[in-house]
Amino acid sequence: QSVLTQPPSASGTPGQRVTISCSGSISNIGSDYVYWYQQLPGTAPKLLIYKNDQWPSGVPDRFSGSRSGTSASLAISGLRSEDEADYYCASWDDSLGAWVFGGGTKLTVL
Amino acid sequence: EVQLVESGGGLVQPGGSLRLSCAASGFTFSSHWMHWVRQAPGKGLVWVSRINSDGRSTSYADSVKGRFTISRDNAKNTLYLQLNSLRAEDTAAYYCARSYDAYMDFWGKGTTVTVSS
């Protein structure tokens, strides 16, 4: 059972906008930043969004992040087939003294 | 170009030990904290441990505390994870990740540990 809660799956058709949610608590998302990672099949995770809504160099602005209270979300607009991957949210948990991840959301592009 | 290359994984019996290594290049290794994160087959990411830039401060997930030890050799640009008293549930791909401003910004490709008799 992951500390952060994500839906196990999401889907959309090319060109659509898809949103993935991440729910936490006051000790993690409610008091620290949220990060999003993309893991393409068979590869290592890649940083997608940092500090709630910032893009690392090279990440297209089709990906956007937001945080409100103890929840966060990742939005992907203009969905493409190459976006098919697992997406993970992460945050530091002050109570646990540990980094915590969501269980991951498998995005399927129909 | 930032590179992190893990090695040292393999098949080990329950109760056994392994030492994982992560060779870093393309950045000033000694300036960055580092992390280990693992992923069991078909499962999600789980943070394991982190170490500060000079190696004097470490922290661990409760599930590995007392069994795993993180360390680094800044002269060799290498991060280590010593795995002792291994259990079946430690079977996973182990990734090292660079820390930038506290978060994990770049990940290696991982090395696989299988604990089985």
For B35, nearest residue in chain A (alpha carbons)? A99
* Binary contact (B47, A97; C-beta < 8 A): no
Distance, CA of A45 to chain centre = 11
In the structure, what pLDDT confidence band is assigned to residue A1 with cuts at 50, 70 and 90? Answer: confident
In the structure, what pLDDT confidence band is assigned to residue B102 with cuts at 50, 70 and 90? Answer: confident
Of B62, B103, B107, the CB nearest to A45: B107
Residues in chain A: 110
Q: Give the list of residues 6+ apart from residue A60 with CB closer than 8 angstroms, or none.
A: none
For B61, nearest residue in chain A (alpha carbons)? A98
> Looking at residue A50, what is its pLDDT?
97
8-state DSSP, B42: T
Q: Using a CB-CB distance cutoff of 8 angstroms, which residues of chain B are in contact with residue A37?
A: 45, 104
Strand, helix or coil for residue A81:
helix
Instruction: Give the whole-number percent of chain B exceeding pLDDT 90.
Output: 98
